[in-house]
Amino acid sequence: MTDTRSNHERAALLAISKVYDLEEDIWSPTYGIRGKLDATVEAVVSDWCSSQISAEPIITSTGPKPFEIKTGRSTGTMEHRAQTMLYALLTAERYGAEVSSGLLYYTQTDEVINVPTSRNELRGLFIVRNEIAEDSMRRSRKMLDMGSCTTDSSLSPTVDGHRTTHLNPTQRSFLDNWESLIAFEEQKLRSFKEELWTMEAKDREGKGRCFSSMVVDSSYPPLPQSPDPQDAKNVYYTYRFIRSGDEEGLPSLLSGHMRRGDAVLLSVDSESHLLALARGIILKLTSQNVVVAVDHVLDLDTIMARRVVFKGASLQAQEDSPQILFRIDKGETSGGLPRLRANLSRLFHMGDHLRQLELIVDLKPPQFVEVDQNVHYINPFSVSLNEIQQLAITKVLAAQDYAIIGAASGTGKTIVISCIIKTLVGMDKTVLLTSSTHSAVDAILLKLRDYADFDILRLGNLDKVRDRIDIDMTMGLV
């Protein structure tokens, strides 16, 4: 093993005696950072002292260390070192141990580099981090208080570096409005995240944002499951949680705020250093218990040991078999906001999407061509539909821009969309079916089940796709 600060001609030696976790998520309210560590290992490092005559090395450090794996050719770059040093801080907080360095492993050169944590370098990293955070907050506040700066001519109006002087007042107003709405949602989501460590679990549950005081039901076997035996990356572990017997007066789990299919974060209740131990999905939910599929094994003995490190042996002496209280928080929902802002910016780039800009912002009516309802490629299945439903199909086939089918619930929109898909595929067209919910997509695919003679690729989280879709249809599932 080489060391970024070693002056010795001979390399130090490294032994890894244990792997604590793989792809471990660590959130740190203390430092305001979080990371996903490739591996966390028990490492023993030995080195030669400058005054040592013996050829035998001596152990200089032992304990948990982050083990970051890089597949590129560059070795020891500042970016990689900075990441490893920050991961060392996260490891120290999670494991309650002094972590003086992290490990970088480059697969192409088969080189392991020891990266010591330097106080001055860490200080510089946090100064930059704070400046970025401050700039982000300033930008959000400005959008909320004053509207987007795109209409302020004194600020050289731009959208992601592209000038917006080509926009008319209506288009600028549209852009300002949606930029402000995205900024407002980002601000609310930041507050939502901050509550994970600034609000007690019971208070969060009162707002419908978590289940508090939950314990693992030992009678439910947490067996690893994988939809594809060849795909070890997507293995998850199922656990059933019930209310602690010591807690009374808590609401039913069927409060309506959290439901089957929701993404969740699993933490130890009231332990900030054991925040977001695992991510998961709610598989089943009753008034008394919740079954969650998570991406990490919950080793209760290891978790208790980490609590003892932070709170002392007195914690273990409280009772012979102390329960570990978990909290199940609603998962993050902010992943799509950067994409929303990027799509909004692209829409207003000069000359890039003029037709879409006219349709979406200027509300120009969509264009249609004449289509004969009785042409041969109309799906025979549509014969069973009523006149209005058949007219809707014809209108879609005539659309040059878009067509909207609007109707009350139960009037047959799903069967019409299924028929449209069948018709378009019969015309040798490729169809992309998308929705804001997995259940809506599955409902349409179930309509296609009995008469689809073409391949379907279903994209989505396995825990949110209906089981019958995979069983009843010949299709790829990703």
pLDDT score recorded for residue 462: 66
Q: What is the pLDDT along the chain (478 residues), one digit of tens a residue?
A: 887 665 555 667 899 999 988 888 888 888 888 899 999 999 998 876 544 555 566 767 788 999 999 987 777 688 999 999 999 999 998 888 889 899 999 998 888 999 999 889 999 999 998 998 888 777 766 665 654 444 443 333 455 555 567 788 888 899 889 988 888 888 887 777 778 778 888 888 888 888 988 999 988 876 666 544 444 455 688 999 998 876 666 778 887 788 888 889 898 887 767 888 888 889 899 988 999 998 888 888 888 877 766 555 444 444 444 678 999 998 765 567 888 888 888 888 877 788 888 899 999 999 999 876 555 455 666 778 888 888 898 899 999 999 999 988 888 899 899 989 988 888 889 999 999 888 889 888 888 876 667 888 888 766 667 665 554 444 444 4
Which of 280, 299, 288, 287 lies closest to 238 in space, CA to CA?
280
Q: Which tokens in the block code for residue 13?
A: 């030696």
pLDDT score recorded for residue 105: 93
SS (H, E, C) the chain: CEECCCCCCCCCEEEEEEEEEEEEEEEECCCCEEEEEEEEEEEEEEECCCCCCCCCCEEEEEEEEEEEEECCCCCCCHHHHHHHHHHHHHHHHHHCCCCCEEEEEECCCCEEEEEECCHHHHHHHHHHHHHHHHHHHHHHHHHHHHCCHHHCHHHCCEECCEECCCCCHHHHHHHHHHHHHHHHHHHHHHHHHHHHHHCCHHHHHHCCCEEEEEEECCCCCCCEECCCCCCHHHCEEEEEEEECCCCCCCCCCCCCCCCCCCEEEEEECCCHHHCCCEEEEEEEECCCEEEEEECCCCCHHHHHHHHHHHHCHHHCCCCCCCCCCEEEEECCCCCCHHHHHHHHHHHCCCCCCHHHHHHHCCCCCCCECCCCCCCCCCCHHHHHCCHHHHHHHHHHHHECCCCCCCCCCCCCHHHHHHHHHHHHHHCCCCCCCCCCCHHHHHHHHHHHCCCCCCCEEECCCCCCCCHHHHHHCCEEEC
pLDDT score recorded for residue 151: 42
Gap between the Cα atoms of 284 and 260, Å rounded: 6
Q: Which tokens in the block code for residue 237?
A: 């572990």
pLDDT score recorded for residue 122: 92
Which of 319, 285, 283, 292 lies closest to 304 in space, CA to CA?
319
Q: Which tokens in the block code for residue 91?
A: 């490891």
Count Cβ atoms within 10 A of the Cβ of residue 121 and give its class: 0-12 exposed, 13-18 middle, 19 or more buried: middle
CATH 2.40.30.270 segments of the chain: 199-330
User: What is the value of pTM for the model shown?
Assistant: 0.64
2.40.30.270, 3.40.50.2020, 3.90.120.10, 3.30.420.40: CATH of 199-330: 2.40.30.270
Residue at token pair 């083990």: 67
